[in-house]
Amino acid sequence: MENDSLKKIISHCKAFGFVFQSSEIYDGLSAVYDYGPLGSELKNNLKSYWWKAMVHLEQNIVGLDSAIFMDPKTWEASGHVDAFNDPLIDNKDSKKRYRADVLVEEYLLKIESKINKEISKGKKRFGDSFDENEFKSTNPRVLKYSKKHQEISNRLGEMLSSNDLKGLAELINELEINDPVSGTSNWTDVKQFNLMFSTEVGSNTENTKKLYLRPETAQGIFVNFLNVINSTRSKIPFGIAQIGKAFRNEIIARQFIFRMREFEQMEMQFFVQPGTELEWYDKWKEQRLKWHKSLGLGNDLYRFHDHKNLAHYANAACDIEFKFPMGFKELEGIHSRTDFDLIKHQEKSKKKILYFDQKSGESYVPYVVETSIGLDRLFLSVLATSYKEEALADGSNRTFLKIPFEIAPVKCAVLPLNAKDGLPEKAKDIFDIIRFKFNCQLDIKDSIGKRYRRQDAIGTPLCVTVDYDSLKDNSVTVRNRDDMSQERISIDNIISFIDDRTSIINLLKNFS
């Protein structure tokens, strides 16, 4: 189920060519999406911003583009064949399948909303003298709900880390959680369900081999560790970064592009000397948050969520959460993965994966700190925050996308005031100068007001209007999307004017 603001974003995305449901003419493939003309531009700009910051600005990080298909032993070594599972439960009446942990999490959300209701009531009752912290620590109802919340979430955490499926089914029954479709609590047992998609390669039945579609890009980096070291002479500490598709057979298909079956990750594995990994983990936590904030969507939209229940291979892990329309949710994961992956690949491949430290004369298996962000979630964070509806002084309304100028899909539109008297030709001359440098549009049809609205709706930061004076004095008016202010500039300066305001270098300078 999507909330109202997410619904508006979804329909805006479709109407203006940002995101479409996959195979929509066949009624749509669930949890798979296509990026339209403007969506693919925005996505490319986000990739480029990540790549430039991660690979070009960092002197000790190199890039990689490994294949989606890998030898299936990769996934045995990494543990995905045995343990990349979600706990699932079916309702016998509706025949619907759910993630058992999510049913409990939704129950917890209901308790949270009861707490928030009590707080709102308190605010109304006490007015300006209301102290939220004091209220939360003294109000008997809030205390009761908070205690229950804490107990259930502790139990859930323990059950998930100890793989206690029976306990999870009992908890669902004990909390009297009903299937939202059938309304009954006629549940099956909880079973583990592997999230990897598989396919087969081979020309005949005898030599076919089961292959998996990679569920993360990280393993392509690990298996190429020696290739990269040997071909680049990289010295530890150093990182390998890559952007690419990943696939997971997610059971819960909703919340638009937040949880998809085919999605894109931007991951970086940073190889360090054992014993120094927690220092690097802290450094990367800080660095990644700084990168997110440099986009300028709003500093208070991010928070860390440090993991209490660590995966067996990690000695520290956290998420950078973003305030999506559905609340704070994971945008990026930062994990200190120890030497788990390299050791496992060493064992499985029977090839030594060692780094020789020239200073100490010792060889060791490096430890790894990983940063892993979902590109589609980043895309959603930008669109959801940028979508604005505004009432104007003249009584009309406008919908605009306040996308940071530097990543906007179209940087500039050239608009002749009228479609006659030589204005379209002059506009075309200007367009022909700037299109080599920026993604821009030439829009001639309809009233100038309508064309401004169209550009606002797709988030174009600058509109260049060509009027009758332009024919005489070689100048144009440039309108700013956000405050609709206008200024007159010489056409000779147009490239530097647009570049100063939209270059990705502005963001990179903010960041470094």
User: Under the rule (CB under 6 A), what is the footprint of ligand GAP?
Assistant: 216, 218, 248, 250, 259-260, 263, 265, 267, 330-333, 370, 372-374, 376-377
What tokens were used for 224? 């190429």
Provide the minimum distance between the beta carbon of 164 and ligand GAP in the complex, in angstroms, as a whole number: 22
The closest alpha carbon to 392, from 317, 310, 453, 307, belongs to 453
State which residue, 330 or 499, has the beta carbon closest to ligand GAP.
Answer: 330
In the complex, which residue's CB is closest to ligand GAP?
374
Q: What angle do CA 169, 172, 178 make, to 5 degrees?
A: 125
As measured in angstroms, the least distance from the Cβ of 195 to ligand GAP is 9
We find the least distance from the C-beta atom of residue 269 to ligand GAP, in angstroms, to be 9
Structure tokens at 410: 């179209």
Q: Smaller CB distance to ligand GAP: residue 56 or 254?
A: 254
CB-nearer residue toward ligand GAP: 215 or 461: 215
Q: How far is the CB of 215 from ligand GAP (least distance, A)?
A: 7
Specify the residue for token string 């956290």.
Answer: 318
Minimal distance, residue 376 CB to ligand GAP, in Å: 5
Is the distance from CB of 369 to CB of 284 less than 8 angstroms?
yes
| Nearer to ligand GAP (CB atom), residue 214 or residue 481 | 214
In the bound complex, what is the minimum distance in angstroms from residue 196's beta carbon to ligand GAP?
12
Q: Which residues pair with 322 in a beta bridge?
A: 302, 329
**Cβ closest to ligand GAP, residue 333 vs residue 459:** 333
Element (H, E) at 114: helix 100-126
CB of 31 to ligand GAP, least distance (A): 8
Are 6 and 255 contacting, i.e. CB atoms less than 8 angstroms apart?
A: yes
Q: Which is nearer to ligand GAP, 342 or 458 (CB)?
A: 342
Euclidean distance between CA atoms 327 and 381, whole angstroms: 11
Length, in residues, of the chain? 512
320 vs 458 by CB, closer to ligand GAP: 320
Q: List the end-to-end C-alpha distance of the chain, in Å, as a whole number.
A: 40
Which residues contact residue 226 at a Cβ distance below 8 angstroms, ignoring those fewer than 6 apart? Answer: 351, 353
Radius of gyration of the chain (CA): 27
